[in-house]
Chains A and B, each alone.
Chain A
Amino acid sequence: MNWLRHQGKRVLAPAAALGLLAGYLFALLPLKRQSENLKVPLRKEWTELARTLGDSNQLNLDFGAIASGLQHTRLALRTLDNTRARAAARCELSPATEARMQAPFQLVDYENERGRQQDELRELAAKLKATLAPAVFEGFPTHSTAVTEPTLLWAELEMVTGLLHTALQCGIPTIESLNVAYTPSNAPAAFTNAWPKEIPIQIELTAPAPAVKRLLQALPMRTNELAAAPSPLSVAAPKPAFYVERILLRKQTPAQLEEVKAIMRVTGFVFSPPR
């Protein structure tokens, strides 16, 4: 034991020196190499991040701002989703139309429904002593080989009938023309396949100014809202919200100063893509 202790003292210093050397060679040097190796990707990714942020001061990056930026973006997305949901609710089509849009398009069904709707409108116009010019019925959406999304015809049909029903109920005595054209919005090309789709409807009518104003006020309302309005309107056909895109009102004759001719382009929106 004592011999071991004595020998231990003698070998302690060389062993310690060897240990130090081993520590330097096998621990410190690899760590330094690892540190140097880490510097390259760190510098690269740091610079890349700084460049992405447009930060001229590359020594300090505001990581907190990056995280909060993401939160703000998510908040904005949530706000937009809420907005979209509300907008979709206002522009929602009737369940029957939604179901027809989801089913394969059958021209015969569509033509039958279009005829039925036109008959109803004729009856309503006769009842209200209003005039619907033939051009109005000619302007109803029809199917042709140029129609790329025939299921949208159902939406257009509901919008047209809803608009005409509303106009008649608002006391419009003469509706001279109507035209429907699905067209992409003026959004950039990348968004043209996106939803909602705009359905612009152009209508031309002659009526007393109060009736036109009533129609304008009724356009953004849905059928149930019209019934609950201060001056309730009973519209038999389902009607989504319309928004006025273009308008021109002008007096017609000095004899009837209250009468105005109105040319309007109103837009409805379809949120649900057909199957």
Chain B
Amino acid sequence: MPNAAHLNTIRRVLAVDAGRRRLKLTLLEKHSNRIKIIQEESVDLQEEGLVTAEELKQYLQTTLDTWGRPPIAITLPQHLSNSHLIDLPPGSEAEAQQLIEAEVVKLSGVSDTPIISDFVRVGATPTGRPQYWVTLAKEGDVEGLIQLLGLQEANLCDVSTAANSLATTYLATVPTATQTILIHLGAQHTLVVVRHQAQTVYAGSFPTGSDSFTRALAQARHCSAAEAEQLKQHSETLGGAAPVPEMVAAVNRWAIELRRFIEAALQQNQKLRADAAAFIYAASGLGFRQPGLLTYLNHQLGMSLQVWPKQRYSPGAGFEIVHGTALQALGATTQPVSLLPAPRQEHWQQHRNTQRLARINNVLLVIASLLLIASLWHCIAQVMNQKNLLHKVREATEVLRTEQALTTQFQTEYENLRPLLQARQNTHDLLETLDLLEQTRSNRSFWFILIADQKSYFHGLHYATTAHAGATNVYGPWLLETGRPTATATNRSPARPGLIAELSVPENLDDARQVLSSIVNDLKSRPLFSKVDLLTDDLRQNLADPKVLLPERHFALALNFSNTIFQALPPAGRSRFDEPGTGRFSRRAGESPQPDLIQ
């Protein structure tokens, strides 16, 4: 399985390209399919005083801390690696891997250190043989670079070669380009990458870079390398009024070397040779920032170098390689190649697994936190509700107790007052009845012989006719049939609240009955009475004086009063009293409700 298969899983990466003169850092972040440059930093090692390895390590650690210690990808200088396009017989991926490993052994020759390799299938030959882009490097070189940068303990996620990185950046910048030769002019090396039919088919470098121009200028001007570098960067030394012959010669030598290198690369493949004229030459690297260099190469030497294309998310000038390394680490390439040593791959994988676990833990923590918060919220709300409800219930219980106490008070006071109310009602009813009885006598020939309340009538009259001296204000039985009958006695007794009226009608019997009927009809229509009728003979009492009555035409009428609320106890233990006027306080049906008990 290719090494780069483990990639494509991170969102943020810091790529490091440590050159001889400059340290280039770029921090990239992937949001869905979009790559965003967070930060780019190019450090001139001489200017920043990072001369020793320790200083460089210290600087890198500080930068890592500042940038939040993201995963790191390293650019391996091209001269420490080797990339080849090889054809293999058709077969499975496993067979291809075996063949490639054998081929790697052949390519690596005799080496004192293990070889790290990675491969990716890039297409097929016209004859159908699959082609693989194989990259290899000595593990010792990779580890040496890691140690040089002091990143042994860092989260290394990828090691990419300069050529693969450069090709990746170019592909990200110009996705439609098919035939391109990328030329990266570094300080000490020149990198050449040939892309054919949108695949990288050749990568190589030769040990001549822009420093050779600087040295030629320093020699010509008899100045230091630093002064020559400044002069080279800020003045026209190849054309203009006073070209520096030594500089021109150095550039010419470099151009010849470049041409020879490209020619050799194209010679390796027949198809490349056939399409040689169709290639576009793209120049990158800080070496090409020398004033007049590109113009000189194109016009004086007949080369067709184009400046590196610029897009919205393109890296800054000089960051093409380190940007590509970061893209490789983020998996944003069609030709991923990684030279991360196997132990570090395992370490990285473990780190990734730990990170996944940590992420899952975090998610679980968040879920647990949310659940805890929700539970707390629910519990607090529940406790508050319970407290409120308990308070409400206690309040209601207190209200109920108060109401019961008030009800008892009401019943007590009502019972104290009820005899008065009942007596008043009796008096009122008696007077009204006497008036009505008097009215019934108009135009009728009869007279009343006896009028008595029913209790006196049925229970007999035992009133003393003489007073009993000294028996006043004494508790105990009244001398003259005192207390009112109990409820039980009342139920057994025919006596009801009302009157008995005995009358004599001095007519013949039929007329007398008619008179009686008319009297009964007159009276029973009154709401004052619940019943008006003749008293049955067995209930008749002989209270009237026989001398004043007419035998056979002597009648007794029972006039029962309608019930009033004062005749019975109110329902005990309840305080749901009717509203005044709904029947409780209204004396009888047909009468208007009384707003008060006493008028």
Interface residues of A (CB under 8 A from B): 2-3, 5-6, 13, 16-17, 20, 23-24, 27-28, 31-32, 34-35, 38-39, 41-42, 45-46, 48-49, 52-53, 61, 63, 66-67, 69-70, 72-77, 79-84, 86-87, 90-91, 135-136, 138-144, 146-150, 152-153, 156, 176-188, 190-191, 194-196, 198, 200, 202, 204, 213, 216-217, 219-220, 243-254, 257, 263, 267, 269
Contacts and interface: CB of A to CB of B under 8 A. Distances in A.
11 contacts: A31-B379, A38-B386, A42-B390, A67-B399, A79-B597, A135-B465, A148-B474, A156-B473, A204-B463, A249-B452, A250-B545
B453 A69 contact: no
Given A42-B393, A63-B396, A80 B598 contact: no
B288 to A, nearest CB: 37
Interface string B10-47: 00000000000000000000000000000000000000
Given A38-B390, A139-B469, A245 B463 contact: no
Contacts of B213: none
Interface residues of B, number: 97
Given A45-B394, A80-B413, A35 B382 contact: yes
B386 A178 contact: no
Given A3-B65, A196-B417, A267-B423, A135 B466 contact: yes
Interface stretch (B174-182, B229-237, B475-483, B516-524): B475-483
Given A247-B456, A250-B449, A45 B393 contact: yes
B526 interface: no
B451 interface: yes
Contacts of A6: 65, 69
B52 interface: no
Nearest to B68: A5
A200 B179 CA distance: 135
A48 B424 contact: no
Contacts of B537: none
Interface of B: 65-66, 68-69, 358, 361-362, 365, 368-369, 372, 375-376, 379-380, 382-383, 386-387, 389-390, 392-394, 396-397, 399-400, 402-403, 406-407, 409-410, 412-421, 423-424, 426-428, 430-431, 434, 447-453, 455-457, 461, 463-476, 478-480, 482-484, 486, 543-545, 547-548, 575-577, 579-580, 596-598
Given A42-B393, A72-B575, A248-B543, A181 B453 contact: no
Contacts of B548: 251-254, 257
Given A63-B396, A148-B475, A69 B403 contact: yes
Given A69-B575, A79-B580, A181-B471, A187 B419 contact: yes
Contacts of B386: 35, 38-39, 42
A90 B427 CA distance: 14
B356 to A, nearest CB: 13
Contact of A91 (B380, B407, B420): B420
Contact of B596 (A72, A86, A250): A86
Q: Which of A16, A72, A138, A181 has the most CB of B within 10 A?
A: A181
Contacts of A184: 475
A220 B430 CA distance: 12
Given A49-B397, A181-B473, 8 more contacts: A52-B397, A74-B406, A87-B421, A180-B473, A195-B416, A200-B482, A248-B463, A253-B545
A181 B452 CA distance: 22
B401 to A, nearest CB: 9
A269 B461 contact: no
Given A13-B358, A67-B399, A248-B457, A2 B416 contact: no
A53 B400 contact: yes
Nearest to A219: B427
A260 to B, nearest CB: 9
Contact of B365 (A16, A42, A90): A16
Contact of A41 (B361, B382, B390): B390
A176 B467 CA distance: 9
A13 B389 contact: no
A138 B407 contact: no
A35 B466 contact: no
A194 B419 contact: no
Contacts of A179: 464, 467-468, 471, 479-480
B410 A80 contact: yes
A191 B415 contact: yes
Contacts of A69: 399-400, 403, 575-576
A143 B451 CA distance: 35
A28 B376 contact: yes
A218 to B, nearest CB: 11
Contact of B368 (A20, A75, A195, A202): A20
Given A70-B403, A200-B482, A188 B415 contact: yes
Given A52-B397, A181-B472, A251-B450, A34 B420 contact: no
Contacts of A178: 467
A167 to B, nearest CB: 15
Nearest to B409: A77
Contacts of A91: 420
A101 B389 CA distance: 54
A186 to B, nearest CB: 4
Contact of B472 (A23, A80, A141, A185): A141
A177 B479 CA distance: 14
Contacts of A42: 386, 389-390, 393
Contacts of B547: 253-254
Contact of A142 (B403, B413, B472): B472
Given A17-B365, A142-B470, A177-B465, A194 B416 contact: yes
B38 to A, nearest CB: 16
A198 B484 CA distance: 13
A77 B406 contact: yes
Contacts of A153: 472-473
B365 A216 contact: no
Contact of A217 (B426, B431, B449, B596): B431
